[in-house]
């Protein structure tokens, strides 16, 4: 039986571990942290939004992200909510909405009544919106915990902390270390992302809502227990220090503009993650001296990890691991 070591228990590592286990391989997952998903994955939005993302991403994001929701549904049954995405803009930002519409597919225009029907909390607040019906979302932290449970059931073994296990006779290592790979992988850089969690019972959303703005676009992803993830800044640096006052202010301002009740919400968490990215911001399966790496997930961890995992696992199972993709 083939055996593999996956370095990194974030979304890319767990996705590829799951793919390899399903193919009958032996998989050990190692991570320097104390448990799964403590790196960039912890701060993910969890939007499975391939159509929206093509507004500023390569075509491959749409192509390879199209089946992400199906993959998650199969790997973690019940984790995915398929309610689409709503994209709104203040009346004076109508041109941003038109621009977004012209850059994407898979949407329909909805008017005030349509917005009220989809998201009663936003009734009367916007004149026009774009609805991407085929998109989905999930709670990244819960999805990873459950994916890890399934991995254990399939025989995968986790090793946390600073002392990785002896590599036994496993010769193939999959590097899924996310931003930690920036130090040793050519062409990889970090893009800082800041986010926060708000808690309020006064707003209720059924799907991610993106609010366009020329300076401070945001998305708000509903979680359970009246929580909302608000994200995310994109700053070209790999400093993972605490959120800046300016970013916090801008995210909160935008959330408040989306719905004034967010002004009364509690800020229950702020977080900063580093997105590892290549210069074209598209992820890759790259060969390394030890095996393969899934790298440069950028802002598309949960959206593209399935496709990257399938791609890597297929290459390994075909014994083609040293063929260029």
Partner 1 sequence: MLNLYDCTLSSRLLLGTARYPSPAVLSEAVIRSGAGVVTVSLRRETAGGKTGGAFFELIRGLGVRILPNTAGCHSASEAVLTARMAREVFGTSWIKLEVIGHHDSLQPDVFELVEAARILTEEGFSVFPYTTDDLVVGEKLLAAGCRVLMPWCAPIGSAAGPRNRPALTAMRAAFPGIPLIVDAGLGRPSHAAVVMELGYDAVLLNTAVAMAGDPAAMAEAFAKATEAGRLAYIAGMLQPRDMAVPSTPVIGKAVFS
Residues in the site for partner 1, rule: CB under 8 A?
A: 56-58, 99, 102-103, 182, 188-190, 214, 235-239, 241, 244, 246, 277-282
**Could you give the count of Cα atoms lying within 13 Å of 310 in the half-sphere of its Cβ?**
12
Joined together, the tokens standing for residue 221 give: 């992803």
Q: CA-CA distance, 159 to 74, in Å (whole number)?
A: 25
Q: How far is the CB of 266 from partner 1 (least distance, A)?
A: 26
Q: How far is the CB of 172 from partner 1 (least distance, A)?
A: 29
For residue 130, count other CB atoms closer than 10 A to its CB.
23
| Residue closer to partner 1 (CB basis): 62 or 69 | 62
Q: How far is the CB of 98 from partner 1 (least distance, A)?
A: 12
Residue 289 buriedness (CB in 10 A; 0-12 / 13-18 / 19+) = exposed
| Residue closer to partner 1 (CB basis): 58 or 264 | 58
- For 45, the 3-state DSSP assignment is coil
Q: CA-CA distance, 185 to 187, in Å (whole number)?
A: 6
| Residue closer to partner 1 (CB basis): 23 or 103 | 103
Q: How far is the CB of 60 from partner 1 (least distance, A)?
A: 12
Backbone angles phi, psi at 126, to 5 degrees: -140, 145
| Residue closer to partner 1 (CB basis): 27 or 57 | 57
Q: CA-CA distance, 313 to 310, in Å (whole number)?
A: 5
| Residue closer to partner 1 (CB basis): 279 or 289 | 279
**Residue with the two structure tokens 């020329």:** 214
Q: How far is the CB of 35 from partner 1 (least distance, A)?
A: 28
């Amino acid at each position: 039986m083939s055996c593999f070591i996956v370095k990194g228990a974030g979304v890319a590592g767990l996705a590829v571990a799951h793919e390899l286990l399903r193919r009958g391989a032996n998989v050990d997952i190692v991570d320097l942290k104390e448990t799964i998903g403590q790196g960039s994955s912890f701060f993910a939005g969890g939007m499975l939004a391939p159509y929206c993302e093509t507004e500023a991403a390569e075509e491959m994001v749409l192509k390879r992200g199209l089946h992400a929701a199906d993959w998650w549904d199969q790997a973690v049954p019940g984790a995915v909510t398929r309610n689409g995405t709503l994209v709104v803009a203040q009346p004076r930002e109508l041109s941003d909405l038109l621009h977004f519409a012209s850059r994407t597919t898979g949407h329909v225009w909805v008017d005030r009544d349509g917005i009220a029907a989809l998201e009663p909390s936003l009734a009367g607040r916007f004149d026009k919106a774009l609805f991407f019906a085929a998109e989905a979302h999930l709670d990244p932290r819960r999805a990873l915990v459950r994916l890890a449970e399934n991995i254990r059931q399939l025989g995968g073994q986790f090793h946390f902390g600073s002392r990785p296990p002896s590599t036994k006779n496993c010769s193939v290592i999959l590097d899924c270390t996310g931003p930690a790979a920036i130090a040793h992988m050519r062409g990889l850089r970090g893009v800082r992302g800041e986010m926060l969690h708000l808690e309020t019972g006064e707003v209720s959303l059924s799907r991610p809502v993106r609010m366009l703005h020329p300076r401070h676009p945001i998305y708000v992803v509903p979680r359970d227990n009246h929580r909302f993830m608000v994200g995310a800044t994109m700053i070209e640096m790999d400093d993972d220090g605490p959120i800046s006052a300016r970013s916090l202010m801008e995210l909160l301002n935008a959330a408040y503009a989306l719905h004034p009740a967010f002004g009364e919400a509690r800020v229950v968490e702020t977080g900063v993650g580093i997105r590892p990215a290549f210069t074209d911001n598209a992820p890759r399966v790259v060969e390394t001296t030890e095996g393969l790496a899934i790298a440069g997930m950028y802002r598309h961890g949960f959206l593209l990890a399935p496709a990257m995992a399938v791609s890597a696992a297929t290459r390994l199972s075909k014994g083609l691991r040293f063929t260029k993709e």
